[in-house]
Chain A
Amino acid sequence: MTEKTTPLWEVFIRSRTGMAHRHCGSVHAGDAEMALQAARDVYTRRGEGLSIWVVPSAEIIASDPAQKDEMFEPTASKIYRHPTFYEIPEEVGNM
């Protein structure tokens, strides 16, 4: 048998105009068009979305959890990046 495995695709759906696409799951399909159709059938049958993106799973590169300290730590120590670091006199009002 010459059958090869069917590729995996990640599915992103935007629920309303103005919202971002959100990852909602994955499907197996031979090509992009069939992946779109499968995603439509599986994930949008109850009005969940207005737009679908499908991406081959193999194309996605994820951050490594082992490096999460180096990756994400700096924000907390750099308080000048946060709006609460800057004091505005009360008389000035909301800013």
Chain B
Amino acid sequence: MYTQALNARDTEAGAVEDADRVAAFQARVDAEEKIEPNDWMPEGYRKTLVRQISQHAHSEIVGMLPEGNWISRAPTLKRKAALLAKVQDEGGHGLYLYSAAETLGVSREELTEQLLSGKAKYSSIFNYPTLTWADIGAIGWLVDGAAIMNQIPLCRCSFGPYSRAMIRVCKEESFHQRQGYELLLEMVRSSEEQKEMVQDALNRWWWPSLMMFGPSDTDSQHSAQSMAWKIKRFTNDELRQKFVDATVPQAHYLGLTIPDDKLSFNEATGHWEFGEIDWDEFMRVIAGNGPCNRERLAARKKAHADGAWVREAAIAYSRKRADRREAARHAAE
């Protein structure tokens, strides 16, 4: 349980940290002990986790938009119900993650403000548009698949609340991936036209999915420290390679071609080798200039602004009821 009072930021924040405390902290991490909200932690550890967990939460929330785009147009009632359940899950994942971030002494309101002002990032993938129904299947298979690759090691993250949130999230993500893949399987078996739709979706989502693992190890700013703190367990490139190795055979099973002419299987290493990612595109999307960045943020801002009076009403009503209860108690005394 996570009391907020004890989680207030260390008063000495900004001061030079006691080397003994830092060493004791590192020793606990090295011994695979979980760090809990009320434990002392280096300011850098706290900041890194707030950044990572909140951006993870933002990704879940913004990620409801590209899929939500197809709820009213899903081709069958079964698929529509599954998509609704999935989007509901994503909302729940956002909540678990905001809760985990809040144990570090930030409020959800602050984090939401950072998202809406563009100060905090969310996963680059959700800045791509969903143009056909097959995109919904591709998101389940590739995007949730990439998310699982990233998140399974996070179940062993050194920060207790984050690792516990990830265990719940991973269970549900694997269900999303399966339903996405099954959707595509049904499409490729149905007609040539539907199969083409699936191939087109793969062509558009393949590279953005590989970009979900972040910059290459040589360019990743946070990697080394995050590995030492056991926030990260594998490097970006290691996870990306695992994803490619797992996914290429799944694509072949669907009878699809991966849109990469450099892709080849290396018998000696047992890995699929793949072409260079378009890092210029990645940087563009991260900087706010991808295909849907403006639209996504505008939708979140609108929901937040238009909902303000509803939030105020809820608070006013709860205050009124609390006052009434108080008055009734006085009257009874």
Contact = CB atoms under 8 A, between A and B. Distances in A.
Contacts of B96: 25, 42
A25 B164 CA distance: 9
B38 A60 contact: no
Interface in B53-87: none
Nearest to A12: B1
Interface stretch (A28-36, A69-77, A81-89): A28-36
Given A1-B308, A42-B95, A65-B39, A34 B4 contact: no
B109 A30 contact: no
B183 to A, nearest CB: 20
A26 B107 CA distance: 13
Contact of A28 (B6, B39, B108): B108
A57 B3 contact: yes
Contacts of B315: 3-4, 6, 30
Contacts of B98: 28
B4 A30 contact: no
A65 B109 contact: no
B314 interface: yes
A57 B2 contact: yes
A27 B99 CA distance: 7
Interface residues of B, number: 31
A27 B322 CA distance: 19
Contacts of A5: 107, 109
B321 interface: yes
B135 interface: no
Given A26-B102, A65-B36, A65-B38, A60 B3 contact: yes
A61 B311 contact: no
Interface in A47-85: 57-58, 60-62, 64-66
A25 B94 CA distance: 12
A41 B6 CA distance: 29
A4 B3 CA distance: 19
Interface in B118-151: none
A28 B102 CA distance: 11
B176 to A, nearest CB: 13
B317 interface: yes
Contact of B1 (A4, A41, A62): A62
27 contacts: A2-B312, A3-B308, A5-B107, A8-B108, A10-B1, A25-B96, A25-B99, A25-B165, A26-B2, A26-B99, A27-B99, A28-B95, A30-B314, A31-B314, A31-B317, A31-B318, A34-B314, A41-B88, A42-B95, A42-B96, A57-B4, A60-B1, A62-B3, A62-B6, A64-B6, A64-B38, A65-B38
Interface of A: 1-6, 8, 10, 23, 25-31, 34, 41-43, 45, 57-58, 60-62, 64-66
Interface of B: 1-6, 36, 38-40, 88, 92, 95-96, 98-99, 102, 107-109, 165, 168, 308, 311-312, 314-315, 317-318, 321-322
Which 8 pairs from chain A and chain B are nearest by CB?
A: A30-B314, A31-B318, A26-B99, A30-B318, A42-B92, A60-B3, A65-B39, A3-B312
